[in-house]
A = this chain, B = another copy of it.
Amino acid sequence: MANPRDPLQAVFVISVAAELAGVHPQTLRIYERKGLVDPARTGGNSRRYSEADIERLRRIQELTNDGLNLAGVKRVMALEDEVVHLRERLAEFERRYRRDLVPVSQARPWFDRG
């Protein structure tokens, strides 16, 4: 239990999270107020960032380095999540299609032809 490598285990205080993400600690507070990250809190109201939070912070850095402002970052990350979800559904369709329904004799199902 309490494995620090668990991506959902919130272990990093703000100064460490800022260092890992390569930004000013104050910047992380700004991101939180804008709704881009939502770190856990201790009983004493201190932020604790998980490995997944750090990954998200790094993604935010990439996007801001590309010139996006925070409103754009928020919307882009939501859309990227949607794209991932749609790709997963598509892959699931294809898997089922192949496994359950395409005759073995049919070498190339329609979704492989174009």
Q: How far is the CB of A65 from chain B (nearest CB, A)?
A: 10
Say what secondary structure dominates the interface of chain A: helix
Instruction: Choose one: B67, B69, B96, B111; the contact of A110 (CB below 8 Å).
Output: B96
A-B pairs with lowest CB-CB distance, top 5: A72-B72, A67-B71, A79-B79, A86-B86, A101-B101
CA distance A110 to B76 in the complex (A): 31
* Complex interface: stretch among A4-12, A18-26, A87-95: A87-95
- Chain B residues positioned under 8 Å from A30 (CB to CB): none
Interface residues of A (CB under 8 A from B): 63, 66-69, 71-73, 75-76, 79-80, 82-83, 86-87, 89-90, 93-94, 96-97, 100-101, 110-111
B69 touches A67 (CB 8 A): yes
